[in-house]
Structure 1
Amino acid sequence: MNNQVQPQNYTVKQYVKMDTVKERFEEVLGKRASQFTSSLVSLVNSNQDLKQASAASVVNSAFVAASLNLPVNSSLGYMYIVPYGKNAQPQIGYKGYIQLAQRSGKYKRINAIPVYEDEYGGWNPLTEELVYTPQYKNRGNEQPVGYYGSFELLNGFKKNVYWTWQQVDDHRKQFSQAGGKGNDKPKGIWAKHYDSMALKTVLKDLLTKWGPMTVDVQTASLADDGEYEHLEDESRRDVTPEDNSTTQAILDSYAKQQEQTKEVSDSDRSEAKPANKADQ
């Protein structure tokens, strides 16, 4: 009788100790790989819902976070690994989107805040001006009336948006599987971190519609939406030994775009390089 544990029955802790998996994380994280995978194991051990999800899907979700260089510690708010029954999916937090935007080197300023009733004086969608008077006090469980996001690029372009609380919640009910799609009451990550997820919704819409679409932001947006089906199915090599990883399709696309960006950069440098005497 063969008592060997099959890959599909591995725990997350067993997966991250496998040489092939360790090598994949080390490729993108270097010396920080061990610390990252230890954080992942701790996250799973502290979350009963994640324990019920496929370990392979959890590890692949974590690899998306690793490829974007975002921590998986949910208390930090950069990246969440959200279980949908037996399948886990990466979800970028609003701090994650801010981090990716900052890395692009194109932003002079970027911010997103909740706005409360005693602070709100009106919003003009034509001029994108918010009449806002900050009130510095402990809000407790007070519900904001809306959420404001804005950025300014180094080239001078500015964009401001304001969503009412109802607009955000309607968006959650229509699109967010993680937040209780179709339900009046938020669920899952939205129930635990409503304001953070609301700010993320506003920032994601702001950055993907009006900001520079960098490779990192595009990859984060695809992972966030679970929009894998339009990516090529060929060469979907999983981080784990299982096959047909939809997450890996995103990573393959990400790596391909990075390589294309590198090729363009190398080409630009080559064209700019002065000819030596042997070439003249």
Structure 2
Amino acid sequence: MTKTVDQSGISNQLANQAAGGAKKGPTIGDLFEQMKPAIAQAIPQHMTPERLLRIATTSIRTNPKLKVCTPESLLGAVMQCAQLGLEPSVLGHAYLVPYTNRKKDPNTGKVIATVEEAQFQIGYKGLLELARRTGQISSIVAHEVYENDLFEYEYGTGEKLRHVPADGERGTVTKYYAYAKFKDGGYSFLVMSKKDIEKHRDKFSKAKYGPWVDHFDEMAKKTVLKGLMKYMPISVEFAKAVSMDETTKREVSSDMSEVIDVTDWQPQENEEPRQEIGESAQ
């Protein structure tokens, strides 16, 4: 059971910071320090609040675009890292990705306000880690397929999957696939073309920087893994963890999964995807 943690002090600090004024507001480091008790309650045993906050602080310091994100979204993203036991670092477990959300007038469709927010994203390696923790999977992998590789697959009653990497020059990547073997002896796999992966990226991200730019293969393998999970006998806890991926929070709570996700990654019908900071509005 999740313990109740009083966040009123942090909420007041955030409100004061947003209001501005003559007095200098608290730094993100100050807010992280106040958040430490809640993180300590949420974090798994293999991590410590000090390590997580140190890594998160480093991520923010090394990415200028994160420095202008709302404290609520940054704290929310870090709390999500804590709850899932994933570190927001170059290891590929999780990412803190800055975005500009544009609020539009429902009548005219014109942008009337903008706000910079941090989005929590699970990395490819983080998704593998979460899947393995379920205890239901004996093996799970995702790979690129190059044009010179021997690759055969078939769905249906005679389904098969065979991949033999080419020796020497392998050419360019043409496909990605994910494969999972379960402890009961069953298995499942999914294959996606590179074009399908690019369509997914273009639909949900207008990124000019971030994981899709810096780590395309990792994000592609994560995409096919998430597609595969629709056919996997995963636990409720794991499904809940995956649902936290690519979300932004605007409130702070000891249980971030109970905070409504107000900026889901998928755009609503007839609405343009959210643009990232630095991208000009059309």
TM-score (norm 2): 0.70
Instruction: Give the secondary-structure state (helix, strand or coil) at the position aligned to 2:148.
Output: coil
Residue 205 to residue 227, structure 1, CA distance change in 2 (3 Å): farther
Report the CA distance between 1:123 and its aligned residue.
Answer: 3.0
Who is 2:214 aligned against?
192
Who is 2:183 aligned against?
154
Who is 1:101 aligned against?
131
Report the CA distance between 1:87 and its aligned residue.
Answer: 0.7
| Candidates 81, 88, 92, aligned match of 2:96 | 81
Q: Which is richer in helix? A: 1
Who is 1:221 aligned against?
242
Q: Which amino acid aligns with 1:204?
A: K
2:123 and 2:133 mapped to 1: Cα distance? 16
Paired residue total? 223
TM-score (norm 1): 0.71
Report the CA distance between 1:221 and its aligned residue.
Answer: 2.5
Q: Which amino acid aligns with 1:201?
A: T
User: 128-137 or 95-104: which moved more?
Assistant: 128-137
2:248 and 2:62 mapped to 1: Cα distance? 28
Higher relative contact order (CA 8 A, sep 6+): 2
Report the CA distance between 1:187 and its aligned residue.
Answer: 4.7
Contact 2:118 2:248 in 1 (8 A): no
Contact 2:80 2:256 in 1 (8 A): no
2:33 and 2:235 mapped to 1: Cα distance? 33
Contact 2:94 2:120 in 1 (8 A): yes
1:212 aligned onto 2:230: no
- Correspondences of 1:136-175 after superposition (within 5 Å): 143-174=172-203
| Candidates 9, 26, 30, aligned match of 2:40 | 26
Residue 237 to residue 55, structure 1, CA distance change in 2 (3 Å): closer
Instruction: Give the secondary-structure state (helix, strand or coil) at the position aligned to 1:150.
Output: strand
Who is 2:5 aligned against?
none
Residue 37 to residue 137, structure 1, CA distance change in 2 (3 Å): farther
Residue 223 to residue 81, structure 1, CA distance change in 2 (3 Å): same
Q: Which is richer in strand? A: 2
Contact 1:163 1:202 in 2 (8 A): yes
Q: Could you list the per-position Cα deviations for residues 30-83 of structure 1 after superposition, in whole angstroms to 9, with x for gaps in the alignment?
A: 67111110111011001111112112211210110110111111x111111111
Who is 1:72 aligned against?
88
Instruction: Give the secondary-structure state (helix, strand or coil) at the position aligned to 1:56.
Output: helix
1:41 and 1:198 mapped to 2: Cα distance? 27
Who is 2:57 aligned against?
41
Who is 1:250 aligned against?
257
Residue 122 to residue 213, structure 1, CA distance change in 2 (3 Å): closer
Contact 2:97 2:120 in 1 (8 A): yes
Who is 2:160 aligned against?
129
Report the CA distance between 1:225 and its aligned residue.
Answer: 4.5
Report the CA distance between 1:214 and its aligned residue.
Answer: 2.2
Who is 1:59 aligned against?
75
Contact 2:73 2:251 in 1 (8 A): no
Q: Which has the larger radius of gyration?
A: 1
Report the CA distance between 1:237 and its aligned residue.
Answer: 6.4
Instruction: Give the secondary-structure state (helix, strand or coil) at the position aligned to 1:72.
Output: coil
Contact 2:72 2:251 in 1 (8 A): no
Instruction: Give the secondary-structure state (helix, strand or coil) at the position aligned to 1:145.
Output: strand
1:198 and 1:151 mapped to 2: Cα distance? 16
Contact 1:115 1:145 in 2 (8 A): yes
Structure 1: runs of 5+ lacking an equivalent: 181-185, 229-235, 241-247, 254-280
Q: Could you list the per-position Cα deviations for residues 184-224 of structure 1 after superposition, in whole angstroms to 9, with x for gaps in the alignment?
A: xx6532011100000000001112x0123324422332222
Residue 214 to residue 121, structure 1, CA distance change in 2 (3 Å): closer
Who is 1:201 aligned against?
223
Who is 2:145 aligned against?
115
Q: Could you list the per-position Cα deviations for residues 85-111 of structure 1 after superposition, in whole angstroms to 9, with x for gaps in the alignment?
A: 211111111111111111111111111
Contact 1:121 1:131 in 2 (8 A): yes
Q: Could you list the per-position Cα deviations for residues 7-40 of structure 1 after superposition, in whole angstroms to 9, with x for gaps in the alignment?
A: 445432121122xx11101112367111110111
